[in-house]
Amino acid sequence: MGGVISWSRLDSPDSLSTVTSMNFNPSPGAPQEPEDSTRRASRRIDRYYQACWEDAHAFSGGLDMESGRAISHQTRVQACLAKFYTSGTSRQSSHPTSAFYCTLGPPRLSFLCNHEAVLLLELSSGWLIPDIIQTGVHIHHLERMVLAFSLPFQIVKEQPGQGTPSWRQPLINLLLDTKGATFRPELSNIPHTRSATQSVPDAAINYLKAEYLSLFQEANYHVIDVSYLGEHFDTLDFSTLRMGGAPEQIIYGHSVDQINDHLSRIIKNHQLSVEDKTHRHRHDFDMSFLGLTRVCDHQIALSFSAFPKFATHPRTLTLLFGIPLEQADVNNIYLMLSMKGVQYSEARSTFFQDRYTSTSLRIVRSLAQQLLAKIQKERWDIIWQQSKQPFTSNVFLEELFNSEPPKPSDATEVRSDWTFVSDRISEHSLANGCEVVSTVTQGSLNQSLYASWDRAQRLAHKLKLSRVETTPDHLLQTALASWTTMTRDRSTYFSAAFGPPKIQLEAPSGGIRTAILYIVIHHGAMKESSRHRYWPASARKDFQYCAVAFRVPLEIRLASDGSGIPRARLLQLKLLDAQAVNFVQYGSHDSAKPDFYLPMLDYLQGPYFRALEEGDHHVIQRIPMCIIATSLHSVNDQFSFYVVPFVRDETKASETFWGEGNKTMVLFSNRCDKLSKGTGWRYGRVSGPVDVEEPTEALVRFSRKYFLENRLLPIMAQLNGFTTFIASLQAGGGSKLRLKPSGQAGSWQPLENSSTALAFEWSVSSDSQMGTPDLYKKVHCSTRNVLEIPTNDRSGDLVIEVKGETMLSFTVEETGITTSATMSWEFPITIMSNHQLKVHLPSLFAPKITTHDSLKVIVELQHLQTESAEQALRKAFDRLIPQRLAQDLKEVFSAPGSLPFPANLGTPVFTRAGDILYEPFSRSPR
């Protein structure tokens, strides 16, 4: 939902950037922002505000705030993100003297430095009446404005109140100070129009600053739970986030977390000794790396924890480095620390928080000097290296802890070895190449799981802000987001904040399709408390960026509605057979892993999996379908239906469920456009009566496609053979009656030769698979076409009636039952006296349809009258034939070199009445 605002620099290079685009989405050519923890946090804040704005927009949809009617204060608070109205009154009367109304887009939050945030408000539309007493009622309209307000913020630990268990951790919130807001014109976008003076935007800004931000704070939108961001609060870097200029050069496609992980491994628990010459004392320090933060485009800050043995608390040492980028060759890029530009940051360090300032400064300088020498000696100045490597499982693990939505599936991402074969297909069917085909990608499977986690995360965040008592239903709905528990003796407390679950496809082995399901744990904690009477103590261990991996089989099953008709084929995780295979810790190894892993495993295999199943989140792919053709036969006193799926828009597929009954459904699960490749069936039981009206319509759709693409176009091509014959009729010659069309299996035979008309018949029949599955033994198509030409009227227009009859029959191999339908159609071709040729198409759009006995048998077995089936056929033809047939006929008649009449007839003209007129360039031959 959240996007990136487009920025451009002002004339002054030192000034901040200004908003140049009202679009909150990045332009296609814009450089992509690097993936660090702060940007991920900002995008999660954007998604949170987007969700809150959608709720406010839905709530304010029926409110008439623009009319100025009395609205309660609570209503204004709930609708403030979407609509805002205020008015001013005079002291003498209660009548309004000014008014302001606006509709707002979703707010966005950016960060300029460590303690300053920018709230961007998009004013979509609105109006302002400044002062009715002085200027009268003058309405100024406002449109498309972006206003920026600078807000101080702080990260606060909120201590639990009375009655809260002692083991519950304090909430950590990011609080925006709306009272200290200041308007930032250099970051705003206020269009200058002729009707709006400069005072009009200023008045709107004052209203928003004075009243809107107070409503914003009253609605608790200024409170952001840090745990919702999915990052540890100590590692968040809110420094120079979205200022103008080139993208960060220190990241180069990698996150700050990965660089921090590298530095924490190489600088861990090193001892340094510093001599204090003034007091003639030597101080020993245990050094540990804390984190890397970005200060500007070419400088970073490294924070170290120095634990002096003579003190009781560790102190933080922060050094600023310049970071030039050195490219060794095409395949390797090095990111190095520059020892020449190192500086000590007093503002970021806690070494000056004591009484011995001068002593601490000397200690810090000596400590920093030794640390720099050690870094340079051990070649730790290369903090990141990029090289071209083939894809391995480690690449997936590097992206595992990224909480961004998965990208849309790409065609190159398709795994050719991931075609699902149902376990209930018989061996002889597999030998014939029949299988259930469903090619999937990792991206498509992870999209559904991410959506389920995002809903649980948003609900958990709202419950924290509302402070309502959690119920068992709430715990089940938020099980995918967080977990808290403690042992029975209350000696150990466990907590975890989950990230989105992800799937990694595993190579098939033995015909079983499995996937690795990673349950991501962004940060977890285990707190052990000693209940000793005299020496109570507690020990806390944190676990960041770890995951539990399960090997889960994937299965395919049918889903049907209440009537028993299968509507979709579901691909789901078989959680009952899930097996834990690994505990992944990204970049760290802790000896206390089993103490945290085993309770976590019990929770995941219990409430976590139950939440996935009850919420239907384990269904990761839904393939909608409908019936195309059916037939009946009796097997062990049960009816079986042969079903072929028809591709339908997934967005229109309704939620369906599995039922049990006494009828067996045999499902052909494959794509309709490739029915001849890999088709098979699996068995499942359905309940309720089966409606035949939809199968009949689907049969007609399939038959119409067969008739149109394979029968009509060859017929139109055959009309090319009559050009000489039609010209001879115009000239008065009626002896040339026999024609032999070339290239088709069939011949024209005269049916009638009287004084009124000449009639000819052309018939063709064929047996073809035509892309149908192996279920049918053959598909027989018989086409009979009649051409009638009047011979008694030579003075006026010449009308040629073209009539046709097409019969399609499907013969089932196992039963021998034939399902068929017959369509009759006709259209006239008129050669007028002015040598224009007209083809009338609307008569072709209303064919006469009849059904044969085998289809009537199916209808009667389902207690459905024959008339209903004919109405269904008629309805399908009336709806589907005109658009497709008109398009195809237009292409046939207008394509160069494919005209059914002489080329000198000219360019065809399509009239509103459905006729095709040919204006000749020259007169027809006589």
Q: Is the pLDDT of residue 406 over 50?
A: yes
The residue written with tokens 């927009």 in the block is 57
Using the predicted structure, report yes or no on whether residue 532 has a pLDDT greater than 80.
no
Interhelix angle for 442-466 vs 37-59, to 10°?
70
Dist CA 519 CA 483 (whole Å): 12
> Which residues is 544 bridged to in the sheet?
523
* The pLDDT of residue 502: 85
Span 143-168, pLDDT tens digits? 778 888 888 877 776 555 555 544 44
pLDDT at residue 15, as a whole number: 25
- Kindly state the average pLDDT of the residues 367-388: 66
- Render pLDDT for 558-584 as a digit per residue (tens, 0 to 9): 666 555 544 556 777 888 888 887 777
Overall average pLDDT of the 596-625 stretch:
75
pLDDT at 557: 67
Model confidence pTM above 0.85 = no
Concatenating the DSSP letter of every residue in 324-357 gives -EEE-SSSEEEEE-EEEEEEE-STT-STTSSS-H
Can you state the angle between helices 37-59 and 256-266, rounded to 10 degrees?
Answer: 140
Q: Is the pLDDT of residue 364 over 60?
A: yes
pLDDT level of residue 87 (50, 70, 90 thresholds): confident
Pick the residue with more confidence: 861 or 846? Answer: 846
Residue 557 to residues 123, 427, 497, 567, 568, Cα–Cα distance (Å): 49, 19, 33, 11, 9
Which position has the higher pLDDT, 7 or 128?
128
Look at 742-746, 799-803, 909-913 and tell me which has the smallest mean pLDDT: 742-746
pLDDT given for residue 922 in this prediction: 31
Confidence (pLDDT) at 210: 82
Other CB atoms within a 10 A radius of the CB of residue 606 amount to 11
Cα–Cα distance for residue pair 106/457, rounded to 1 Å? 19
For 50, the 3-state DSSP assignment is helix
**Positive/negative CA dihedral, 576, 581, 584, 588:** positive
Kind plus residue range of the DSSP H or E element containing 735: none
What is the reported pLDDT for 552? 85
Q: Which amino acid is at 828?
A: P
**Predicted pLDDT at 787:** 60
* pLDDT tens-place string over residues 188-231: 777 654 444 556 677 788 888 888 888 888 888 888 776 555 54
Report the SS3 class of residue 13. Answer: coil
Q: What is the pLDDT of residue 359?
A: 59
Q: State which of 61-70, 740-749, 757-766, 833-842 shows the largest mean pLDDT.
A: 61-70
- Residue 457 has phi, psi (to 5 degrees) of -65, -45
Please give the pLDDT value at position 707. Answer: 40
* Structural domain boundaries in the chain: 7-235, 256-387, 445-617, 693-918
635 pLDDT exceeds 80? no
Q: What was the pLDDT predicted at 528? A: 77
Return d(Cα 566, Cα 658) in angstroms, integer: 8
pLDDT in tens, 215-227: 888 888 888 776 5
pLDDT one-digit tens code per residue, 653-710: 222 222 222 222 222 222 222 222 222 222 222 233 333 333 334 444 444 444 444 4
| DSSP assignments along 226-270, one per residue | GGGGTS-GGG---SS-S-SSSPPTTTTTS-HHHHHHHHHHHSEEE
Give the number of other Cβ atoms within 10 Å of residue 421's Cβ: 20
The encoded tokens of residue 213 equal 């931000």
The Cα 474–Cα 497 span in angstroms is 16
Per-residue model confidence (pLDDT) at position 235: 46
Contacts with 644 (C-beta within 8 Å, 6 or more apart), sequence order: 627, 628, 629, 668, 670, 672, 675, 773, 775
Alpha carbon distances (Å) from 193 to 125, 130, 140: 14, 17, 11
Give the per-residue pLDDT at 4.
23
Mean of per-residue pLDDT scores for the chain: 58
pLDDT number for residue 881: 40
Residue 747 has pLDDT above 80, yes or no: no
